[in-house]
Amino acid sequence: MNKRRILKYFLFYIFTIISAIVAVILYLKYYPIKSKVITETINKTMVSEEGIEEAISGVYDAVVTVQSYSNGQLIGTGSGFIYKKEDKGYIITNNHVIEKANNYKVLLQTGEEVDAKLLGCDEYSDLAVLSIDKDKVTKVAKLGDSDLITVGNTVFTVGSPMGSNYSGSVTRGIVSAKERTIETDDVVTKVIQTDAAINPGNSGGPLVNLAGEVIGITSMKLAQEEIEGMGFAIPINDAKIYVQNLEKGENISRPALGVSLINITDRYRLYYYRINVDSTITKGVVVAKLQNGGAADKAGLEIGDVITKIDDKEVESISKLRYYLYKYNIGDKVKITYIRNGKTNTVDIKLEGN
């Protein structure tokens, strides 16, 4: 009797295990999205050294050192990465890495130096696209989705800090902030902040996640000498908007008001242009010149007007005005708020191309 009872319990135990296995298989088959979430959660909590090594290997050979020459003289180096291979190999880097040059070479991870051609560049976004012979391409970096990153994610950079002698250097950190805005040289840029070390020569290189995907383009231009432990990268989703035009050699067209402006805090330039502004006005940008027949001219703006808002967004500087303005398309209408002779006015302006 005891033997029968033991056999009964044993068969029940086996049946329970088989049922559980079948249930798991069916769950994974018919609820793949939830199982993916579980897998991603596990991955986030298990950052292994093997996983980091695999992520690095997925992009490492696609990273290059960009060498910029002017009249045969090397004038600067930076980093870049191959993001596409078709009729040629396509490389993304920063505009400030190549802007003063007329000849370009890239150093591959194999140590081979090859000629590169500039296809297109854009100062405002600080992006440039180079090309090389497709037969020289051994690895293409996979572009990720920068909108999916979260604060605390592990990231790393690959680049050439301090020049080609340190090419292929890897630094590791985390995403310190997802959406920062940095203001430099009358330009406001949305960036990813990281504590991964970014040094001169890293500019143009990739910021990479644990899946080995590029989620940002590092930029030393956005850093300040007195700040340590803060690196910045252009989100790859923002770069994708411009790269398609740049690789075709097309200029990036942006909306314009057709004005030259002066920050209201720049009293010296206001004096130089002989423009008097009420001292009680502390925020805004002052119209210094009007393009004849331009959008602002057609709308009736005048020299000396102080622009304080674009639609409902307050304008504190030229860079902020550009930042808001470039979110619109050519042909859109915007409401401009301005002060003239102590009186606040508004006018609708149809944006034209720059």
Q: Is 140 exposed, middle or buried (0-12, 13-18, 19+ CB in 10 A)?
A: middle
Tell whether 241 and 147 lie within a shared domain: yes
Tell whether 176 and 236 lie within a shared domain: yes
Question: Cα(303)–Cα(315) distance, rounded to whole angstroms?
Answer: 17
Tell whether 161 and 242 lie within a shared domain: yes
| Whole-prediction pTM | 0.79
pLDDT at 21: 62
* 220 domain-assigned: yes
Rg (CA), the chain: 27
Q: Is 229 exposed, middle or buried (0-12, 13-18, 19+ CB in 10 A)?
A: exposed
pLDDT at 44: 47
* 274 domain-assigned: yes
Question: Cα(273)–Cα(113) distance, rounded to whole angstroms?
Answer: 50
Q: Would residue 70 show up in a list of annotated catalytic residues for this protein? A: no
Q: Identify the CATH number of the domain in which residue 292 sits.
A: 2.30.42.10
Domain end position, chosen among 189, 219, 246: 246
Residue in 79, 146, 203, 319 annotated catalytic: 203
* 78 domain-assigned: yes
* 75 domain-assigned: yes
Question: Cα(267)–Cα(178) distance, rounded to whole angstroms?
Answer: 36
* 35 domain-assigned: no
pLDDT at 167: 84
Residue in 68, 96, 125, 169 annotated catalytic: 96
Tell whether 128 and 156 lie within a shared domain: no
Tell whether 294 and 331 lie within a shared domain: yes
Domain end position, chosen among 105, 136, 167: 136
pLDDT at 354: 74
Task: Answer whether 154's CB lies under 8 Å from 172's CB.
Answer: yes
Tell whether 147 and 132 lie within a shared domain: no
* 11 domain-assigned: no
Which 3-state string (H, E, C) describes the chain?
CHHHHHHHHHHHHHHHHHHHHHHHHHHHHHCHHHHHHHHHHHHHHCCCHHHHHHHHHHHHHHEEEEEEEECCEEEEEEEEEEEEECCCEEEEECHHHHCCCCEEEEECCCCCEEEEEEEEEECCCCEEEEEECHHHCCCCCEECCHHHCCCCCEEEEEECCCCHHHCCEEEEEEEEEEEEEEEECCEEEEEEEECCCCCCCCCCCEEECCCCEEEEEECHHHCCCCCCCCEEEEEHHHHHHHHHHHCCCCCCCCEECCEEEEECCCHHHHHHCCCCCCCCCCCCEEEEEECCCCHHHHHCCCCCCEEEEECCEECCCHHHHHHHHCCCCCCCEEEEEEEECCEEEEEEEECEEC
Domain ranges, residue 228:
142-246
Per-residue pLDDT of the chain (354 residues; tens, 9 = 90+): 555 555 555 555 565 666 656 565 555 455 444 434 433 443 444 456 667 888 899 999 999 999 999 999 999 999 999 999 999 999 999 999 999 999 999 999 999 999 999 999 999 999 999 999 999 999 999 999 999 999 999 999 999 887 778 888 999 999 999 988 887 767 888 899 999 988 878 899 999 999 999 999 998 655 555 456 688 999 999 999 999 999 999 989 999 999 999 999 999 999 999 999 998 999 999 999 999 999 999 999 999 999 999 999 999 999 999 999 999 999 999 999 999 999 999 999 999 987
Tell whether 167 and 220 lie within a shared domain: yes
pLDDT at 187: 80
Task: Answer whether 139's CB lies under 8 Å from 62's CB.
Answer: yes
Tell whether 272 and 349 lie within a shared domain: yes
* 45 domain-assigned: no
Q: Identify the CATH number of the domain in which residue 174 sits.
A: 2.40.10.10
Domain end position, chosen among 246, 269, 286: 246
Tell whether 108 and 187 lie within a shared domain: no
pLDDT at 35: 39
Tell whether 270 and 308 lie within a shared domain: yes
* 197 domain-assigned: yes
Q: Would residue 126 show up in a list of annotated catalytic residues for this protein? A: yes
pLDDT at 45: 40
Tell whether 146 and 242 lie within a shared domain: yes
Count of the separate structural domains present in the chain = 3
Residue in 68, 79, 125, 126 annotated catalytic: 126
Tell whether 264 and 292 lie within a shared domain: yes
